[in-house]
Copies of this chain bind each other. A is one copy, B any other.
Amino acid sequence: MSIRVDRDTGVTAPSGFRAAGVAAGIKSSGGPDLALVVNDGPEFTAAGVFTTNAVKAAPVLWSQEVLRHRRLRAVVLNSGGANAATGPGGFQDTHATAEKVADRLDTGAIEVAVCSTGLIGERLPMDAVLSGVDCAMSRLDTTATAGLAAAGAVLTTDTHAKQAAARASGWSVGGFAKGAGMLAPNLATMLAVLTTDAVLTGEVLDTALRAATRVTFDRLDVDGGTSTNDTVLLLSSGTSGITPDEREFTEALTAVSLDLVHQLRADAEGVTKEIDIVVRGAASEADAITVGRTVAEDNLVKTALFGSDPNWGRIAMAAGRCGARVDPATLSIHINGVTLCSAGGAAADRSAADLSGKEVEIVIDLGVGAAEATILTTDLSHGYVDENSAYSS
């Protein structure tokens, strides 16, 4: 199967879904801050993956419970506040939000997932949230415009909405995602809602979602900051009447997820370089991921790349310090196709690597095994420092 992904549509690309995004008054800026995605069925199977952070936001605790049933009628999302580190009161706020959506849909709160993003440690203005739900309900629509409005209402420091969709024979997958900082392994300060009209059991959805996120959302690492709120949800309406091959479905889901991850990286805080760190020849995939993440999170590597400096010595340092099996004698480092380090020593002069463009590919061949993994990251720029020091977020 060759999968084509487009960005013209998102969560409403599969039939059976309505979406809305509104300005509910949660953000002091007055911008869009509440999104709703409703599954009109006939199927309501769903799956979710959540942050590994021990400090989980109230909506994560709630949605994890809800997803035990692998069934969702709707997802309500807000920006303007993470509802994390808000104690029992924050959890009650999440529950009240789910109840409100459930009432309007004539169902139970147990079928409504909640996602929040924004500043940690502040309670949400619940009047705004609840009246926002009413407003969003009145605007729910199946159009591409409605899907885009939902994608736009979850943005924080993102500069634009991110959505993608893939169409197969008779069924489709779509979705949106947000995330700009606190972007790191094991889901990336990030909320994503994925939809499909394929007919699949909850077990298959769950397996496919874990397989897709493991090589997409989990491989994005902007600043190591695995957030309190990371959530990826997958909802199936079943309107297509088609049950695709499981592998084919996972491929389509992975393609849409990867496209969303590329969009997240391109819009990360302060980004001036979009960097692929390809780790090859590792003793295990876990080692490859560890090396890739350590290099991705290393501020000396990130600042050198901001300066368009192919400083492979810093890459070797980061690889060596991460605890993975690294042997200097077999280490090679290639930047944008130029071999700068071979057998642990200098190869081509570093000036041979051209880093003037926005895209950078770093290939680290550990030469100790056959496993590999790719981590996606960005540079560390003055823009990142500005965005994260100038105000609380």
Residues of A within 8 A of B (CB): 52-56, 82, 84-87, 89-90, 119-123, 181-182, 184, 223-228, 297-300, 303-304, 306-307, 309, 311-314, 316-321, 325-328, 331, 341, 343-346, 350, 380-382, 384-385, 388-393
Contact = CB atoms under 8 A, between A and B. Distances in A.
Given A122-B346, A299-B223, A304 B389 contact: yes
B381 A385 contact: yes
A326 B392 contact: no
Number of copies of this chain in the oligomer? Answer: 2
Given A121-B312, A309-B392, A317-B55, A299 B224 contact: yes
Contact of A307 (B84, B119, B307, B389): B389
B87 A321 contact: no
Contact of A345 (B52, B82, B85, B224): B85
Contacts of A299: 223-225, 299, 380, 384, 388
Contacts of A82: 313
A341 B121 contact: yes
Given A54-B326, A328-B54, A341-B121, A388 B313 contact: no
B121 A346 contact: yes
A18 B84 CA distance: 58
A325 B331 CA distance: 35
A120 B85 contact: no
B225 A321 contact: yes
B385 A304 contact: no
Contact of A384 (B298, B303, B316, B327): B303
6 tightest A-B CB contacts, nearest first: A120-B313, A55-B320, A307-B389, A303-B388, A87-B345, A226-B321
A363 B56 CA distance: 21
A333 to B, nearest CB: 9
A60 to B, nearest CB: 11
Nearest to A344: B85
Given A86-B346, A304-B392, A345-B87, A320 B384 contact: no
A346 B90 CA distance: 11
A191 to B, nearest CB: 15
B346 A316 contact: no
10 contacts: A89-B345, A120-B312, A120-B316, A121-B313, A123-B346, A226-B321, A228-B320, A303-B385, A304-B389, A350-B392
Contacts of A381: 385
